[in-house]
Amino acid sequence: MLGKSLGLDLGSHSIKVVELRQNLRTVEIARLQAVNVANGTSEFDALRDCAQALGLVGERVVTAIPGDRIARRAIHFPFRDRRRIAQAVPFEVESETPFDLAEVFVDWELVGEARSEADVIATVVTRAEVASRLEALRDAGLGARVLEVEGLALANLTTFVPMPGTRLLMDLGHRKTTLCLLVDGVARAARSLPLGGRMLTEAIARETNTDWDEAERVKCRDGVFGPNLAPNSPATERALGRLVRELVRSVGGFESALGAPPEKAIEEITLLGGGARLQRIDEYLSAQLGIRCARFSVPPGEATGAFLAAGDPLRFAPALALALRGTLRAKTRMNFLQAEFAPRLDLRRLARQFRSSLVLAAIALLLALGTGLERIVIQGRRAAALEAELAQIWSQAQPGKPMPANVSRALDGALREAQQRADFLGIYGGNLSALDLLTQISKLVPKQLDVIFEEMSIDGQVVRFRGHTPSFAAVDQLKMALAGFPHFGEIRVAEIQADAARGGNNFSVTIGLTQGSSADEGAAPDPAPAAARAGSAPAAKPQPPQPQSGARKP
């Protein structure tokens, strides 16, 4: 949850509040409330009573400065760089402002841009007006989150209700009427007229010679139109005629922003505000202006359900536009909280709002630190045990040598040196050299065994040799004799073939070497018992083996 946004519409007839709850994906309506303002009540007193009645004291709201308290100007720039626009706008409006720039705030809204051009609406408001508005909020116990300006802020409604095409939003208020020209959901122009539903009430009160409250009830109950959309009385006819004339002039002034006559470019005038509830006002304005008019409507859906449940989207639409200004979906960016009025970070308020979150974050941080320290201690103990084990291995492998600073690196170096010596000297299984292997084989072969070794090779941990013997039984006796050496693993005799030229048999033997501590542990057994088990045999005729081409020579 990213928080809430409170839109506060300060009308002269009623004050409306819309509260939105927003997260990263959705914006939901949480509250819609209104408080009527008694006739003759000052704006400050009405705001204070509203804040207390609706429980808003201490809240920060998004509100707007009335359109009749500001000055607007449309400006075209032959560039679109926002930094240059921000620097140029004050100079463009200075000549048309009856105040010194130090006495006013200037803000602007980008309403159109091309490849190398930009159109903006610059707005000027006096510092005194901003100070007065903020003082009224403070007296009511409220703070300002955003201080917008009426008119353009209505464009934020398009983020909640799609409004394609070109249309004019008309907020028919009690004291004034606010216009906002939209083109494909983007505000292009805005204007405020000092005419609203109040002048109709006053006309009815004069015509019927009744008090103001009774005239208001008559207007809301019976309306102001008779048959064929004719006003009920000359007084209301004059009031409505004045409103229509001002609307015609204002709509005609939008031709430069539209690039075409408004009656052809504007597809619809969308009515909203309390005055839009007046009976048949949409039909009357359509006939007078020549442009289709329709009341603001909210399509059904999960996001708009609360708005429809309130039963009066026309009344709350301006407040909804202000509330949307305080969300991530805002279409407008104007804000007069500038310079000394800019919001400051209230750490105490933030601490109160996020107290529970901060406590949970602190607990999580402590748990993470504890887990990290525990891992460090465990890893330290493992490292110490490993260092002790390496030191013991060094003492056994290198007795008498001093303990190096880095035992692991020293052991790796010693192992590489031993391997290099082994490769150079021809060291095989059991730390035996090629000469040791030949010596052991010579010892193991019984002297009386008639065997001739013709070829011999040592390849890694495998010894291969070929030989000749007069009898087949001598081959088995040779295998049994060689099996007595502990560093000889599997002994395989193969390729036994008869030798037609010499008689007897030719054979090959493959011996796999095994690892052992030393050659002395595998001292060859006495060959005599082996000879006795094999029976009498002719005297052996040992001959030196002939190394095979490419084999290692001892």
Partners of 287 in the β-ladder:
none
Q: What's the per-residue H, E or C state across 64-97?
A: EECHHHCEEEEEEECCCCHHHHHHHHHHHHHCCC
Are residues 207 and 200 in contact, defined by beta-carbon separation less than 8 angstroms? Answer: no
Question: Could you tell me which residues come within 8 angstroms of residue 137 by beta carbon, excluding any fewer than 6 positions away?
Answer: 47, 61, 63, 143, 144
Please report which confidence band the pLDDT of residue 111 belongs to, taking 50, 70 and 90 as the band edges: confident
Q: 13-27, 363-377, 442-456, 509-523: which has the minimum mean pLDDT?
A: 509-523
Token couple for 57: 């004291």
Question: Where do we find the tokens 């001892």?
Answer: 554
Please report which confidence band the pLDDT of residue 132 belongs to, taking 50, 70 and 90 as the band edges: very high
Q: Where are the domains of the chain?
A: 162-296, 366-425, 427-547
Nearest CA among 336, 360, 358 for reference residue 347: 358
pLDDT digits over 461-497, tens only? 788 888 888 877 788 888 888 887 787 788 888 878 8
Return d(Cα 383, Cα 87) in angstroms, integer. Answer: 63
Please report which confidence band the pLDDT of residue 446 belongs to, taking 50, 70 and 90 as the band edges: confident
Q: Please give the single-letter amino acid code of residue 170.
A: M
Give the per-residue pLDDT at 351. 66
Give the per-residue pLDDT at 346. 58
Q: What is the mean pLDDT of the chain?
A: 83
Give the per-residue pLDDT at 526. 42
Pairing of strands 186-193, 177-183: antiparallel
Please report which confidence band the pLDDT of residue 202 belongs to, taking 50, 70 and 90 as the band edges: very high
Pure H helices in 426-458? 434-444
Please report which confidence band the pLDDT of residue 193 belongs to, taking 50, 70 and 90 as the band edges: very high
Give the per-residue pLDDT at 428. 57
- Helix count (H) and strand count (E) of the chain? 17, 20
Phi and psi angles of residue 445, each rounded to the nearest 5 degrees, phi first:
-75, 120
pLDDT digits over 268-300, tens only? 999 999 999 999 999 999 999 999 999 998 887
Give yes or no for residue 527 having a pLDDT over 80: no
Instruction: Report the run of H or E that residue 132 belongs to, with start and end.
Output: helix 127-139
pLDDT digits over 379-427, tens only? 888 888 888 888 888 888 788 888 888 888 888 888 888 777 666 555 5
Question: Could you tell me which residues come within 8 angstroms of residue 409 by beta carbon, excluding any fewer than 6 positions away?
Answer: none
pLDDT digits over 49-102, tens only? 999 999 999 999 999 999 889 999 899 999 989 999 999 999 999 888 888 889
Return d(Cα 149, Cα 123) in angstroms, integer. Answer: 8
Return d(Cα 25, Cα 27) in angstroms, integer. Answer: 7
Give yes or no for residue 350 having a pLDDT over 70: no
Please report which confidence band the pLDDT of residue 353 belongs to, taking 50, 70 and 90 as the band edges: low
Return d(Cα 131, Cα 366) in angstroms, integer. Answer: 46
Are residues 176 and 190 in contact, defined by beta-carbon separation less than 8 angstroms? Answer: no
Are residues 323 and 33 in contact, defined by beta-carbon separation less than 8 angstroms? Answer: no
Beta strand segments in 150-277, E: 166-172, 177-183, 186-193, 268-272
Pairing of strands 60-65, 118-126: unpaired
Return d(Cα 388, Cα 38) in angstroms, integer. Answer: 89
Are residues 199 and 242 in contact, defined by beta-carbon separation less than 8 angstroms? Answer: yes
Task: Order the strands of the 462-469 sheet from edge to edge.
Answer: 488-498, 505-513, 462-469, 452-459, 546-547
Q: Does domain 162-296 have CATH number 3.40.50.300?
A: no
| CATH class belonging to 427-547 | alpha beta
